Amino acid sequence: MAFEITVNGEKRTVDADADTPLLWALRDELGLKGTKFGCGIAACGACTVYIDGYPSRSCVTPIDSLGEAEVTTIDALSGKAADAVRQAWVDLQVPQCGYCQSGQIMAAAALLSETPKPSDADIDAAMSGNVCRCATYHRIRQAIHHAAETMEG
Amino acid sequence: MRAIFSNPTHTDGSADGTTGGFRPSRRQFLIATGGAGLGLMIGGALPGLGRAEAAAGEAAENLINPFVIIRPDDTVAVLSKHLDMGQGTAHGLTTLVAEELDARWEQMSPEFAPADASKYNNTAFGQVQGTGGSTAIANSFTQYREAGAMARAMLVAAAAEAWGVPAGEVTVDDGTIAHAASGKSAGFGAMAAAAAAMSPPSSVTLKDPSQFRYIGKATTRLDVKPKTEGAPIFALDHAPEGVLVAAIARPPKFGATVRGFDASEAEKINGVVRVLQIPAGIAVVAKSTWPAFKGRDALKIDWDESKAETRGTKELRAEYAALLDQPGKVFQSDGDSEGALAGAARVIEGTFEFPFLAHAPMEPHDVTIHFDGEMAEVWTGSQLQTVDQMVAAGTLGIEAAQVRINTLWAGGSFGRRAIYDSHIVGEAAQLAKAWGTPQPLKIQWSREDDIKGGYYRPAYMHKVRAGLDTEGNIVGWHHRIVGQSIVAGTAFEPGMVHDGIDHTSVEGVAGNSYRIPNFQGELHTVTVGVPPLWWRSVGSTHTAFVMETMLDDLAAAAGRDPVEFRLALLPEGSREAGVLKLAAEKAGWGDPVPEGKARGVAVHKSFGSYVAQVADVTLGEGDAYKVDRIVCAVDCGVAVNPDNIAAQMEGGIGYGLGHAIRNKITLTDGAVDQTNFDTYEPMRIDDMPFVETHIVPSAEAPTGVGEPGTPPAAPAVSNAIFAGRGVRWRTLPFTDNRGGAA
């Protein structure tokens, strides 16, 4: 059946079963490929999107649960925190394979929007749901601090 | 040569229920690759794909040589013959070309070469295109520099001809070709077509290292920015018009086969198009991914387990443990080990256990194939392009030259995509064949498919007895290893198994650099129906742990400092000693360790590179601990990109710590117990220590960095815990020692 969902500020129609995870609706139905598939059980964060501004796991969010909620994906992520995070990721050369980084950046930008000067403990708490098998964690931590500094400046 | 697949239904070696279908037999592979075994593989000629540009879809006038394309807009594309799975190889190869070409960094574009072993073979593998063994930069260093230098010479010649000036007066700098006297200048794009038509120079002079502008400097990886934007660069993202997506139900136990199945419920799922049996299992083909997964869940399959592996971890462990007490096949024998141990003042004994390990790259496997009855096109993160090509061709009954492999950026690998039987691409070919009409088809693996799917780092056990004299010197060492061979029965066997010893089972123990007298090494190779595979750093995943923790135990028994004890055993001036000294110095080895903290060290050579690490650990209540910091020293010859070397050390350490702290695959009655990241939980950011990397300056030829960072991490941590608590953890993961270690 058809569902109307709001993605990146636009109303979009998705013709799929009610239990279809938002992840697959975004990727397969709407052609938004930035959000990646890692586990399907909300255990790795590769599929992180914002639902009404909050980082959420799109792989376990059925499309019929969205209602009027606003979905934001990496494909349209913007703003001060997002720009600072992306630049810090380039400055510190964070990604290796890069596959998890859509989710990492969504999570990091959300953290900095809420907590402009996070401690290492804040970073670990906010980012521990996002797995990186290349273990770029060391640089993620440094890059979040770096982004916090540039946002301040 | 082209007749090797004249009998495509021949499935020698394929009676393997886990993969089914075509598997290149050892004989076929040898025919294709020429028959001589050296290192990983082989010499000889493979059926070529014709000119590279045809496969690359590139205009001939842009193709300067097989590795360099210069487009009219000045873009310099460097065709990486290697897969980039995060290790930075595409960047490294781009750096080499940019250096000799005197290009402007921003005009460079890392891209992937087509599958064509006649041009893009890994020279460390012989006539096979593939990536592995941390060989990418090592085997390409001169080749890609020469490609850049030749392209430069051809651009100069083209400009000289166009301007009517002597070539010797034409300069190239920062992407601009110029002739000072006449004031003429041009970008690369303007001269590319003329350059492409030139004959390549018979020889080129490469730069002296003192002239390097990019090599050895931290250049910005050009793939980083797209990766911060969710760019659709992975096989997951590839979706040609009208593609259908398949999920495959594979056997719940390795070696089981389908006796029968009922697809009636699956076919009722909205979006499911067709259900069909292929050798790999039952494929549910749907309009998109979710209905494919749902449809697969709705299948009812009757599995025949009569030929399946039904032993569990408990049974295998008991069998391995029994073998530890029996003589094995000798892989190294110096002096009289038993005699020396009998006469030793003190003998330290250790028994070690290592579980199966999944690689679990972030991107679950995915592959798209389009077979039109004549040509097959494949899109995937291909790590052994030549084998993928051969297996697809063999399955489809066509020749290798009729299979076009499009290598895409891979979301991690750690060895998992370098598959001796190419079962992932093979399944896609099986599906395309079974489908019967031209149709783009994608196979999407779930995380459960990946975790439960085998091709693991094999389980191993080791038992070591080492003796000290009254002075605290090692007088003898007896070392026994039990485990599966990774390559036995595969096309890699002739190159990697010698006199019944799979080198990957013993590397790191065999040929270690310590001057240990009376050394005996023995191996029991066991046959288990769980497909094994190399896992980042291969044999060194277990051998480094055993060697380095045993040495620490011996140092403690001798009352000697662990660093000093090792240095005394290493040859004077050895590169192991160099990294060990550097790591110890940078970590403040010898400084007092604060209360509640502990420090450990390990050093190991793998893939031609030398790495030492010092781990600082905070000890908590009971068995609790936290790794705070790892100081790493690496000697990998010329440092092509120091920042990427540091990144690979950081990642290698994180990967090594993951298997140290909690990762294991276990089996019950042959079925895998773990399913996903909830039960095979990867390292997370709060597990990750601070990492500091120091590179030994070197003019030696560059060696790999993808794997060598991994081996020392686990033993360095075990040694720190031993130093702090006097408790030795000899089983990985460490969680399996809790409550029982002494």
Q: Which residue has the tokens 């020293």?
A: B633
Per-residue tokens: B46: 């493979």
| Boundary residue ending a domain (A76, A100, A133) | A76
CB contact under 8 A, A133 and B446: no
CB contact under 8 A, B362 and A21: no
Kindly state whether residue B35 falls inside one of the protein's structural domains.
no
Number of domains in chain A: 2
Other Cβ atoms less than 10 A from the Cβ of B606: the count is: 26
| C-alpha triplet A7, A13, A15: angle, nearest 5° | 125
Is B502 within 8 Å of B40 (Cβ atoms)? no
CATH number for the domain spanning A112: value is 1.10.150.120
At residue B164, what is the residue type?
A: G
DSSP state of A27: I
- What residue numbers bound the domain in which B600 lies? 313-357+455-737
User: Looking at CA atoms only, how far is residue B358 from chain A in angstroms?
Assistant: 12
DSSP string, B563-613: HHHHHHHSPTT-HHHHHHHHHHHHHTTTSPPPTTEEEEEEEEEETTEEEEE
CB contact under 8 A, B655 and A46: no
Name the pairing type of β-strands B690-695 and B625-635: parallel
Interface contacts A/B by beta carbons within 8 Å = 190
Per-residue tokens: B592: 């007092």
Name the 3-class secondary structure at B284: strand
Please give the pLDDT value at position B738: 63
Whether residues A71 and A103 share a domain: the answer is: no
Other Cβ atoms less than 10 A from the Cβ of B210: the count is: 5
Chain A hits for B683, Cβ within 8 Å? 131, 135, 137
Structural element, H or E, at residue B323: helix B313-323
Whether residues B218 and B343 share a domain: the answer is: no
CATH number for the domain spanning B592: value is 3.30.365.10
CB contact under 8 A, A20 and B446: no
**Separation of alpha carbons B192 and B179, rounded Å:** 17
Q: Write out the E strands in chain A.
A: 2-7, 10-15, 48-51, 54-57, 70-72
Model pLDDT for residues B265-294, shown as the tens digit of each residue = 999 999 999 999 999 999 999 999 999 999
Give pTM, 2 decimals: 0.93
Whether residues A91 and A142 share a domain: the answer is: yes
Nearest one of B646, B631, B639 to B713, comparing CA atoms: B631
Bond from prior residue into B733 cis (ω within 30 degrees of 0):
yes
CB contact under 8 A, B362 and A134: yes
Using a 10 angstrom Cβ sphere, with 0-12 exposed, 13-18 middle and 19 or more buried, the burial of residue B33 is buried
Smallest Cβ–Cβ distance between A34 and the set B229, B448, B681 belongs to B229
Whether residues B263 and B333 share a domain: the answer is: no
Per-residue tokens: A128: 């521990």
| Boundary residue ending a domain (B444, B479, B507) | B444
Strand order in the sheet with B176-179: B170-173, B176-179, B184-187
Q: Which residue has the tokens 């250096």?
A: B99
Smallest Cβ–Cβ distance between B224 and the set A24, A89, A138 belongs to A89
CB contact under 8 A, B290 and A21: yes
In chain B, the residue whose alpha carbon lies closest to the alpha carbon of A124 is: B686
| Boundary residue ending a domain (A45, A76, A107) | A76
> In this structure, which long-range contacts are made by residues A49-57, counting pairs with CB atoms below 8 Å and at least 24 apart in sequence?
A49/A22, A49/A73, A49/A74, A49/A106, A50/A106, A50/A110, A53/A110, A54/A110, A55/A106, A55/A107, A55/A110
In chain B, the residue whose alpha carbon lies closest to the alpha carbon of A101 is: B228
Is B407 within 8 Å of B385 (Cβ atoms)? yes
**Separation of alpha carbons B373 and A100, rounded Å:** 37
Whether residues B407 and B532 share a domain: the answer is: no
Interface check B678 vs A, CB under 8 A? yes
**Separation of alpha carbons B263 and B172, rounded Å:** 65
Kindly state whether residue B9 falls inside one of the protein's structural domains.
no
Which stretches of chain B drop beneath a pLDDT of 50? Answer: 1-22, 26-55, 739-742
Whether residues A93 and A70 share a domain: the answer is: no
Please give the pLDDT value at position B218: 82
Name the pairing type of β-strands B176-179 and B170-173: antiparallel
Please give the pLDDT value at position B24: 52
**How long, in residues, is chain B?**
742
**Separation of alpha carbons B454 and A7, rounded Å:** 38
Cα dihedral B303, B305, B307, B309, rounded to 10, equals 120
Smallest Cβ–Cβ distance between A97 and the set B294, B412, B690 belongs to B412
| Boundary residue ending a domain (A20, A51, A76) | A76
Angstrom distances, CA of residue B459 to CA of B401, B545, B605: 38, 14, 22
Please give the pLDDT value at position B473: 97
- What residue numbers bound the domain in which A26 lies? 2-76
